[in-house]
Amino acid sequence: MYEQTEDYHLWLKPLVTKVSAILGEGFEDVRYDVSVSTDTIINSNLFLVNVVSNANPVDDDEANKRVKSVNIVVKKIPAERIQEMMKCREQFHNEILFYQKYAQYYDRVPRCIYATEEPSLRDSVIVLENVATKRGYSMCKWKYDIPMEYTLAALREIARFHAIAYTMKRTREKEFFDFVSAIEEVRFYPGSKIRNTFNGTATRSLHFLRKQGHDKEFCDKFEARCANTFEDLVLKFVKVEEPLATLCHGDFTINNTLFKKESDEQKVIFVDFALIRYGSPILDLSTFLCLHCARDLDKVMLDNVLRMYHDSLMQCLQENDIDGEDYSYDALYEDYKKKGLFGFFIATFFLATQMDKFKEEMEDLRKLDLVEWGALLRQFGGEEVDEILAKMLLKLKEFGCLDCIL
C-alpha cells in the first residue's frame, strides 16, 4: 500500500540516524537494508529495516567475529485518502499512547524503540523491535479453523492482558483511567462510516437459512432486529459496563497474534494496539472465536474455552494479589450471552477475508468509499461463507446469545 511515488529513503535515512543514537554504543556509524511489506495492510505502511553497525566486529575470537545489527519494524501513516477513511491519526495516537503509557505494565509486546506523533501525519512514526528475528515469534500459518492448540494459547494470553488491566484498576486507579480517557475512538460512535459495513452484512446468513427452509418466524425476527445493527446492537455491545470492563486489544485476531513453541508450549505475543478500547472482555473473545473457530463454535466448545480463559484470568489475578470476586465465571458467561454477537457481526464482513475468498473483488473494494463497502462485502465468499455464518448463528442461539435481542 506504500505510495511508490515517494522516495522513502528521504525520511528513512534521518530516522535511522535517530534510532541509532537510541541503540547506543556500537551504532554511531551504521548502514541499513530495507524491505517494504507487501501484506494487505491499509491502516499503515510497514518497513522492515536491518540496521547494521559499521564498527569493527565484536572480537569473541577470530573465527566468530560478529557484526552488530538490529532488526526493526517501522510503521508510517499511509496515503491521505486512507488516513481519513480509516481514522489513521487516531489509530497512531492510540498505539503510541499504549507503548508510552501502558506497555511498562504489560510486557509481552515488541519493544518500542522510538515513536513520535506529529501535527503533519506523514511525519508520525512508530519504530518497534522485529520480534520475528529478535525473539523467534512467527504468525500462525492458519487464518481460520485454527488448531485448538493455538486458540487456547491465544486465549490464555488475552486473559493475562485483561487481568493486568483489572490489576491496574485496583492498584493504580487514577493512572489507569487517565490512560483510558486518552484513548481516541476509531470505529464505534454514532455516524461512523463503518456503520454501513455492519448494517450491510449483518443478515447475510439469512439467505442460506431461508433457502434451507429454516423457521420463517425466526428469520423474520432476526432480520427485523438487525435492520440497524450498528446503532441498535453494536453500539450497545461496546458500551462500558462495570465491573467486567477492562482494557481490550480491540483487534484481537490471529493476524495480530504471534506464536513461538517453547518447552512444548505455545508462547504468545501481541502486536498492533491501534484499536485498544475500554470495554467488555467479550469484545476480544467473540472476535477471535467467531473469526478463527467459526465451524467449531458450539455450546460445548464455548463452555470449554471460556472456562479455560477464566481459569487463566484468575491465576493472573492471584499472582498480582487481586481477588477475583468481581470477575466470576457466571458473570463472564452471562456477559458472553449478552455480547457474543459482536464477534459474529464482525465475521459477517471479515470471515471471507480471513478465508482468502476475496481476491478478485479486492481491487473493486479499494475503489469504493468505506460507506459503500457493505454491499460488496456481503458477497465475499458466496454461499460457502453464508452457510458457515448461518450455522454459527444457530449455535450462538443455542448458547443463548440471541436471548437478549429476540
> Over the stretch 1-59, which tens digit does the pLDDT of each residue have?
344 445 777 889 999 999 999 998 889 899 999 987 655 445 568 899 999 999 877 55
pTM for the whole thing? Answer: 0.92
The C-alpha cell that represents 401 in the structure block: 446469545
Distance CA 205, CA 384 (A): 10
Distance CA 277, CA 146 (A): 26
Distance CA 246, CA 177 (A): 11
Q: Is residue 404 part of a domain?
A: no
Are 55 and 68 a contacting pair, CB within 8 Å? yes
Peptide bond into 147 cis (omega under 30): no
Distance CA 237, CA 339 (A): 6
Claim to verify: residue 362 and residue 254 sit in the same structural domain: yes
Distance CA 25, CA 273 (A): 30
Q: Is residue 406 part of a domain?
A: no
Are 157 and 270 a contacting pair, CB within 8 Å? yes
Number of domain units in the chain: 2
Eight-state DSSP code of residue 124? -
Claim to verify: residue 229 and residue 270 sit in the same structural domain: yes
Nearest to 73 by CA among 137, 133, 22, 25: 133
Give every CB contact of residue 216 below 8 A, 6+ residues apart in sequence: 210
For residue 389, the model assigns a pLDDT of 97
Q: Each residue of 257-315: pLDDT tens digit?
A: 999 998 888 999 999 999 999 999 999 999 999 999 999 999 999 999 999 999 999 99
Instruction: With a cut of 70, list the residues of the chain below it in pLDDT.
Output: 1-6, 37-44, 58-65, 79-85, 358-371
Distance CA 315, CA 14 (A): 46
Phi and psi at 104, nearest 5°, equal: -65, -20
Strand partners, 316: none
Claim to verify: residue 76 and residue 147 sit in the same structural domain: no
Distance CA 228, CA 146 (A): 32
Which residue, chain included where needed, has cell 467449531? 296
Phi and psi at 19, nearest 5°, equal: -65, -40
For residue 378, the model assigns a pLDDT of 84
Claim to verify: residue 111 and residue 174 sit in the same structural domain: no
For residue 140, the model assigns a pLDDT of 94
For residue 4, the model assigns a pLDDT of 44
Q: Which domain, by its residues, includes 247?
A: 138-399
Question: What is the CATH classification number for the domain harbouring 16?
Answer: 3.30.200.20
Q: What's the Rg (C-alpha) of the chain?
A: 22
Claim to verify: residue 145 and residue 233 sit in the same structural domain: yes
Claim to verify: residue 165 and residue 202 sit in the same structural domain: yes
